Amino acid sequence: MVVAHSNLRLLRAPSSELKKVDSALDLIGETPLLQITRIAEGIASRVRIFAKLEGCNPGGSVKDRPALKMVQDGLASGKLRPGKTIIDSTSGNTGIALAMIGRVLNYPVELVIPANVSIERKRIIQAYAANVTFSDPFEGSDGAIRQFREIIARDPDKYFKPDQYFNEMNPQAHFETTGPEIYRQTKGEITHFVAGIGTGGTIMGTGRYLKSVNRAIKVIAVEPDDALHGLEGLKHMASSIVPGIYHEEELDEKIPVSTEDAYAMVYQLSQEEGVLLGQSSGAAMFAALKLARRLRSGTIVVIFPIKDTCSK
Protein backbone atom coordinates (compact mmCIF):
# COMPACT_ATOMS: atom_id res chain seq x y z
CA MET A 1 0.00 0.00 0.00
CA VAL A 2 1.37 3.42 -0.94
CA VAL A 3 0.04 6.69 0.46
CA ALA A 4 1.17 9.84 -1.34
CA HIS A 5 0.38 13.47 -0.49
CA SER A 6 2.35 16.02 -2.53
CA ASN A 7 5.86 15.81 -1.04
CA LEU A 8 5.04 12.94 1.33
CA ARG A 9 5.39 9.34 0.25
CA LEU A 10 4.78 6.60 2.77
CA LEU A 11 5.48 2.97 1.97
CA ARG A 12 3.85 0.34 4.13
CA ALA A 13 4.40 -3.38 4.26
CA PRO A 14 1.49 -5.43 2.87
CA SER A 15 0.64 -6.88 6.28
CA SER A 16 0.30 -3.47 7.94
CA GLU A 17 -3.41 -3.10 7.16
CA LEU A 18 -5.58 -2.47 10.21
CA LYS A 19 -6.05 -5.72 12.09
CA LYS A 20 -7.19 -7.08 15.43
CA VAL A 21 -4.33 -8.04 17.72
CA ASP A 22 -4.18 -9.80 21.07
CA SER A 23 -1.64 -7.49 22.75
CA ALA A 24 0.63 -4.50 22.19
CA LEU A 25 3.46 -6.92 21.41
CA ASP A 26 1.71 -7.93 18.19
CA LEU A 27 2.14 -4.35 16.95
CA ILE A 28 5.94 -4.53 16.97
CA GLY A 29 7.46 -4.30 13.48
CA GLU A 30 6.05 -3.62 10.00
CA THR A 31 6.94 0.07 10.33
CA PRO A 32 6.56 2.30 7.25
CA LEU A 33 9.12 4.02 5.05
CA LEU A 34 8.87 7.76 4.53
CA GLN A 35 10.46 9.19 1.39
CA ILE A 36 12.55 12.24 2.26
CA THR A 37 12.00 14.88 -0.41
CA ARG A 38 12.33 18.50 0.68
CA ILE A 39 15.69 18.35 2.42
CA ALA A 40 16.93 16.00 -0.29
CA GLU A 41 16.82 18.76 -2.89
CA GLY A 42 20.12 19.15 -4.68
CA ILE A 43 21.01 15.47 -4.83
CA ALA A 44 21.02 13.58 -8.12
CA SER A 45 17.55 12.88 -9.53
CA ARG A 46 18.18 9.14 -9.54
CA VAL A 47 19.00 9.05 -5.81
CA ARG A 48 16.15 8.38 -3.40
CA ILE A 49 16.21 8.48 0.40
CA PHE A 50 13.70 6.62 2.56
CA ALA A 51 13.49 6.76 6.35
CA LYS A 52 12.35 3.69 8.29
CA LEU A 53 10.04 5.12 10.96
CA GLU A 54 10.79 2.93 13.97
CA GLY A 55 8.95 5.29 16.31
CA CYS A 56 5.79 3.61 15.02
CA ASN A 57 6.53 0.61 17.23
CA PRO A 58 4.25 0.53 20.31
CA GLY A 59 7.11 1.30 22.70
CA GLY A 60 8.15 4.19 20.46
CA SER A 61 11.49 2.93 19.16
CA VAL A 62 13.49 0.41 17.17
CA LYS A 63 14.42 -1.24 20.49
CA ASP A 64 11.03 -2.96 20.71
CA ARG A 65 12.26 -5.52 18.18
CA PRO A 66 15.37 -6.83 20.00
CA ALA A 67 13.77 -6.47 23.43
CA LEU A 68 10.93 -8.77 22.42
CA LYS A 69 13.26 -11.26 20.73
CA MET A 70 15.56 -11.44 23.76
CA VAL A 71 12.65 -11.96 26.15
CA GLN A 72 11.12 -14.62 23.90
CA ASP A 73 14.47 -16.41 23.80
CA GLY A 74 14.70 -16.23 27.59
CA LEU A 75 11.26 -17.78 27.95
CA ALA A 76 12.04 -20.51 25.42
CA SER A 77 15.32 -21.41 27.13
CA GLY A 78 13.85 -21.33 30.65
CA LYS A 79 16.26 -18.62 31.76
CA LEU A 80 13.26 -16.34 32.23
CA ARG A 81 10.57 -17.96 34.35
CA PRO A 82 8.11 -16.97 37.09
CA GLY A 83 9.93 -15.44 40.05
CA LYS A 84 12.66 -13.86 37.92
CA THR A 85 13.12 -10.13 37.36
CA ILE A 86 14.15 -8.75 33.97
CA ILE A 87 17.14 -6.41 34.28
CA ASP A 88 19.31 -4.52 31.80
CA SER A 89 21.41 -1.39 31.34
CA THR A 90 20.10 1.07 28.79
CA SER A 91 20.22 4.65 27.59
CA GLY A 92 16.43 4.64 27.73
CA ASN A 93 14.71 3.11 24.73
CA THR A 94 15.52 -0.55 25.39
CA GLY A 95 14.41 0.12 28.96
CA ILE A 96 11.07 1.45 27.74
CA ALA A 97 10.66 -1.61 25.51
CA LEU A 98 11.51 -4.03 28.32
CA ALA A 99 9.23 -2.20 30.75
CA MET A 100 6.35 -2.42 28.26
CA ILE A 101 6.99 -6.11 27.59
CA GLY A 102 7.26 -6.80 31.31
CA ARG A 103 3.84 -5.25 31.90
CA VAL A 104 2.26 -7.34 29.13
CA LEU A 105 3.87 -10.60 30.30
CA ASN A 106 3.57 -9.80 34.03
CA TYR A 107 7.31 -9.83 34.85
CA PRO A 108 8.94 -7.17 37.06
CA VAL A 109 11.61 -5.05 35.36
CA GLU A 110 14.65 -3.26 36.80
CA LEU A 111 16.74 -0.89 34.72
CA VAL A 112 20.07 0.91 35.11
CA ILE A 113 20.01 4.20 33.23
CA PRO A 114 22.37 7.21 33.05
CA ALA A 115 20.90 9.96 35.22
CA ASN A 116 20.98 12.48 32.37
CA VAL A 117 18.57 10.67 30.02
CA SER A 118 15.62 12.77 28.94
CA ILE A 119 12.80 13.55 31.35
CA GLU A 120 10.40 12.09 28.81
CA ARG A 121 12.12 8.69 28.88
CA LYS A 122 12.16 8.69 32.68
CA ARG A 123 8.43 9.43 32.80
CA ILE A 124 7.56 6.72 30.28
CA ILE A 125 9.54 4.10 32.21
CA GLN A 126 7.88 5.27 35.42
CA ALA A 127 4.47 4.92 33.77
CA TYR A 128 5.28 1.25 33.07
CA ALA A 129 6.17 0.83 36.78
CA ALA A 130 9.73 -0.40 36.21
CA ASN A 131 12.26 0.04 39.02
CA VAL A 132 15.13 2.32 38.01
CA THR A 133 18.69 2.81 39.25
CA PHE A 134 20.38 5.92 37.88
CA SER A 135 24.07 5.68 37.03
CA ASP A 136 26.66 8.47 36.79
CA PRO A 137 25.55 10.84 34.04
CA PHE A 138 29.15 11.57 33.07
CA GLU A 139 29.90 7.90 32.36
CA GLY A 140 27.09 7.44 29.83
CA SER A 141 26.00 3.98 28.75
CA ASP A 142 29.34 2.48 29.84
CA GLY A 143 28.70 3.58 33.41
CA ALA A 144 25.26 2.01 33.28
CA ILE A 145 26.80 -1.27 32.06
CA ARG A 146 29.26 -1.33 34.95
CA GLN A 147 26.61 -0.60 37.59
CA PHE A 148 24.26 -3.16 36.03
CA ARG A 149 26.95 -5.83 36.41
CA GLU A 150 27.47 -4.90 40.07
CA ILE A 151 23.75 -5.26 40.83
CA ILE A 152 23.55 -8.71 39.23
CA ALA A 153 26.68 -9.88 41.05
CA ARG A 154 24.99 -9.18 44.40
CA ASP A 155 22.01 -11.50 43.65
CA PRO A 156 22.53 -13.41 40.37
CA ASP A 157 19.68 -15.89 40.93
CA LYS A 158 17.11 -13.11 41.10
CA TYR A 159 17.57 -11.82 37.57
CA PHE A 160 17.14 -12.59 33.92
CA LYS A 161 19.48 -10.33 31.95
CA PRO A 162 18.80 -9.79 28.26
CA ASP A 163 22.23 -8.07 28.20
CA GLN A 164 21.52 -6.27 24.94
CA TYR A 165 25.16 -5.43 24.21
CA PHE A 166 26.23 -9.08 24.17
CA ASN A 167 23.06 -11.02 23.27
CA GLU A 168 23.03 -12.35 19.69
CA MET A 169 19.23 -12.26 19.75
CA ASN A 170 19.57 -8.47 19.45
CA PRO A 171 20.92 -8.49 15.86
CA GLN A 172 18.91 -11.64 15.10
CA ALA A 173 15.69 -9.68 15.66
CA HIS A 174 16.71 -7.28 12.91
CA PHE A 175 17.89 -10.10 10.63
CA GLU A 176 14.44 -11.67 10.92
CA THR A 177 12.28 -8.52 10.76
CA THR A 178 13.86 -5.15 9.91
CA GLY A 179 15.98 -6.40 7.01
CA PRO A 180 13.21 -8.34 5.25
CA GLU A 181 10.76 -5.44 5.71
CA ILE A 182 13.15 -2.94 4.12
CA TYR A 183 13.98 -5.23 1.22
CA ARG A 184 10.30 -5.92 0.56
CA GLN A 185 9.20 -2.29 0.94
CA THR A 186 11.81 -1.08 -1.57
CA LYS A 187 11.01 -4.00 -3.92
CA GLY A 188 14.63 -5.05 -3.63
CA GLU A 189 15.90 -1.71 -4.95
CA ILE A 190 17.80 -0.66 -1.81
CA THR A 191 21.48 0.05 -2.54
CA HIS A 192 22.63 1.61 0.75
CA PHE A 193 21.58 1.06 4.36
CA VAL A 194 22.40 3.71 7.01
CA ALA A 195 21.97 3.37 10.79
CA GLY A 196 23.50 4.72 13.98
CA ILE A 197 25.58 2.60 16.34
CA GLY A 198 24.29 2.07 19.87
CA THR A 199 24.43 -1.59 20.82
CA GLY A 200 25.19 -2.38 17.17
CA GLY A 201 22.17 -4.67 16.88
CA THR A 202 20.31 -2.72 14.19
CA ILE A 203 23.26 -2.18 11.87
CA MET A 204 24.60 -5.73 12.31
CA GLY A 205 21.37 -7.68 11.96
CA THR A 206 19.77 -5.62 9.23
CA GLY A 207 23.04 -5.35 7.33
CA ARG A 208 23.58 -9.11 7.43
CA TYR A 209 20.15 -9.80 6.04
CA LEU A 210 20.48 -7.25 3.24
CA LYS A 211 23.88 -8.60 2.23
CA SER A 212 22.51 -12.16 2.33
CA VAL A 213 20.06 -11.26 -0.45
CA ASN A 214 22.36 -8.86 -2.34
CA ARG A 215 26.07 -8.58 -1.56
CA ALA A 216 26.24 -5.29 -3.46
CA ILE A 217 24.16 -3.44 -0.84
CA LYS A 218 26.38 -1.11 1.18
CA VAL A 219 26.04 -0.98 4.98
CA ILE A 220 27.04 2.36 6.52
CA ALA A 221 27.20 3.03 10.25
CA VAL A 222 26.83 6.44 11.89
CA GLU A 223 28.67 7.42 15.08
CA PRO A 224 29.49 10.61 17.01
CA ASP A 225 32.62 12.34 15.75
CA ASP A 226 34.11 12.68 19.24
CA ALA A 227 34.23 10.84 22.55
CA LEU A 228 32.70 13.88 24.29
CA HIS A 229 29.43 14.14 22.41
CA GLY A 230 25.77 14.91 23.09
CA LEU A 231 24.15 12.23 20.94
CA GLU A 232 22.19 10.18 23.45
CA GLY A 233 21.97 6.51 22.51
CA LEU A 234 24.92 6.53 20.09
CA LYS A 235 28.41 5.18 20.82
CA HIS A 236 31.77 6.56 19.80
CA MET A 237 33.35 3.13 19.44
CA ALA A 238 37.02 4.10 19.78
CA SER A 239 36.39 5.42 23.30
CA SER A 240 33.65 3.02 24.48
CA ILE A 241 33.13 -0.49 25.78
CA VAL A 242 32.64 -2.24 22.44
CA PRO A 243 29.48 -4.41 22.44
CA GLY A 244 30.12 -8.10 21.87
CA ILE A 245 27.54 -8.15 19.07
CA TYR A 246 29.30 -5.39 17.10
CA HIS A 247 31.69 -6.45 14.35
CA GLU A 248 33.13 -3.49 12.49
CA GLU A 249 34.64 -5.63 9.75
CA GLU A 250 31.10 -6.27 8.46
CA LEU A 251 30.59 -2.59 7.66
CA ASP A 252 31.36 -0.93 4.36
CA GLU A 253 31.84 2.50 5.91
CA LYS A 254 31.41 4.63 9.04
CA ILE A 255 30.35 8.28 8.86
CA PRO A 256 31.12 10.48 11.90
CA VAL A 257 28.62 13.24 12.75
CA SER A 258 29.00 16.14 15.16
CA THR A 259 26.47 16.89 17.88
CA GLU A 260 25.83 20.30 16.34
CA ASP A 261 25.10 18.89 12.87
CA ALA A 262 22.77 16.25 14.32
CA TYR A 263 20.76 18.80 16.31
CA ALA A 264 20.54 21.13 13.31
CA MET A 265 19.18 18.26 11.24
CA VAL A 266 16.53 17.50 13.89
CA TYR A 267 15.26 21.07 13.48
CA GLN A 268 15.40 20.89 9.69
CA LEU A 269 13.44 17.63 9.61
CA SER A 270 10.72 19.09 11.81
CA GLN A 271 10.42 22.26 9.75
CA GLU A 272 10.71 20.83 6.24
CA GLU A 273 9.56 17.21 6.48
CA GLY A 274 7.17 17.52 9.43
CA VAL A 275 8.66 14.73 11.53
CA LEU A 276 9.67 15.19 15.18
CA LEU A 277 12.74 13.14 16.01
CA GLY A 278 15.58 12.63 18.45
CA GLN A 279 19.20 13.58 17.86
CA SER A 280 20.18 10.02 16.87
CA SER A 281 17.76 10.29 13.94
CA GLY A 282 19.22 13.70 13.10
CA ALA A 283 22.71 12.20 13.01
CA ALA A 284 21.56 9.33 10.77
CA MET A 285 19.82 11.73 8.39
CA PHE A 286 22.85 14.01 8.20
CA ALA A 287 25.00 11.01 7.28
CA ALA A 288 22.46 9.78 4.71
CA LEU A 289 22.46 13.17 2.99
CA LYS A 290 26.25 13.28 3.01
CA LEU A 291 26.26 9.86 1.36
CA ALA A 292 23.54 10.82 -1.13
CA ARG A 293 25.52 13.79 -2.41
CA ARG A 294 28.29 11.40 -3.49
CA LEU A 295 25.98 9.18 -5.54
CA ARG A 296 24.68 9.42 -9.10
CA SER A 297 21.94 6.85 -8.48
CA GLY A 298 20.74 4.64 -5.67
CA THR A 299 18.10 3.96 -3.03
CA ILE A 300 19.17 4.80 0.52
CA VAL A 301 17.24 3.58 3.55
CA VAL A 302 18.07 5.26 6.84
CA ILE A 303 16.82 4.21 10.27
CA PHE A 304 14.95 6.82 12.31
CA PRO A 305 15.09 4.90 15.61
CA ILE A 306 12.64 6.87 17.74
CA LYS A 307 9.76 9.33 17.83
CA ASP A 308 8.23 10.25 14.55
CA THR A 309 4.83 11.17 13.20
CA CYS A 310 3.11 8.01 12.05
CA SER A 311 0.02 5.88 12.21
CA LYS A 312 -0.24 2.12 12.02
- From the candidates 63, 69, 235, 307, give the one annotated as an active-site residue: 63
d(CA 211, CA 111): 34
Nearest to 300 by CA among 279, 310, 280, 286: 286
**Residue 63 is a catalytic residue:** yes
Work out whether the CA dihedral 57, 236, 246, 161 comes out positive or negative: negative
d(CA 246, CA 249): 9
Length in residues, the chain: 312
User: Please, what is the Cα angle at 79 between 75 and 83, to 5 degrees?
Assistant: 90
User: Please, what is the Cα angle at 14 between 44 and 66, to 5 degrees?
Assistant: 85
**Residue 77 is a catalytic residue:** no
* E-strand stretches of 197-278: 218-224, 253-257
Asked if residues 70 and 162 have their Cβ atoms less than 8 Å apart, the reply is: yes
Q: What residues contact 176, with CB distance under 8 A and at least 6 apart? A: 69, 205, 209
Asked if residues 237 and 283 have their Cβ atoms less than 8 Å apart, the reply is: no
* E-strand stretches of the chain: 2-5, 8-11, 33-36, 46-53, 85-89, 109-114, 131-135, 159-160, 192-196, 218-224, 253-257, 297-304
Nearest to 184 by CA among 69, 65, 50, 308: 50
d(CA 137, CA 243): 20
Q: Indicate which residues carry an active-site annotation.
A: 63, 280
